[in-house]
């Protein structure tokens, strides 16, 4: 296999993976991330195919089979537990907001402890 073809394919797949990762990060909902992760698995299958061809690793074909079989499990599991989430909960919290939420939770637990006593 000519190195030029390999380089072109690798560049295309890398670009695809980066663009998909952007969507995984951005969301906005869990299901969008699930769809993007499915595309990422397809990209991974493509990368494995390239590696198997370039290094002559014929054993990697079995890994491809496994990935094609179980790649959908994550999507099905996450879709099963998807709930409607309000706009505010969808984004990733900033550090300050996360700290505030944690403090509120701690306070909650403490007041619950006092109640039980």
Structure tokens, 63: 């890994």
C-alpha separations of 48 from 22, 54, 61, 112, 116 in Å: 22, 10, 8, 52, 56
User: Which H/E stretch holds residue 68?
Assistant: helix 60-70
Please check whether residue 83 is in contact with residue 53, taking contact to mean a CB–CB distance below 8 angstroms: no
Least distance in Å: CB of 23 to other proteins? 5
Residues 10-69 that bind other proteins (CB under 8 A): 12-13, 15-17, 19-20, 22-23, 29, 31-32, 34-36, 38-39, 42-43, 45-46, 49-50, 52-53, 58, 61-62, 64-65, 68-69
Structure tokens, 97: 């907001």
Interatomic CA distance for residues 109 and 117, integer angstroms: 13
Least distance in Å: CB of 98 to other proteins? 24
- Can you give the binding site for other proteins, defined by CB under 8 A? 1-2, 5, 8-9, 12-13, 15-17, 19-20, 22-23, 29, 31-32, 34-36, 38-39, 42-43, 45-46, 49-50, 52-53, 58, 61-62, 64-65, 68-69, 71-72, 75-76, 79-80, 82-85
């Amino acid at each position: 296999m000519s190195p030029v073809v390999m380089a072109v394919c690798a560049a295309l797949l890398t670009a695809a993976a980066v663009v998909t990762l952007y969507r995984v990060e951005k969301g906005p909902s869990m299901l969008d991330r699930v769809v993007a992760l499915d595309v990422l698995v397809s990209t991974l299958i493509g990368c494995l195919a390239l590696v198997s061809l370039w290094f002559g690793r014929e054993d990697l074909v079995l890994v491809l089979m496994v990935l094609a079989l179980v790649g959908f499990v994550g999507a099905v599991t996450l879709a099963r537990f998807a709930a409607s989430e309000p706009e505010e909960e969808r984004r990733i919290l900033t550090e300050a907001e996360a700290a505030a939420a944690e403090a509120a939770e701690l306070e909650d637990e403490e007041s619950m402890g006092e109640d039980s006593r």
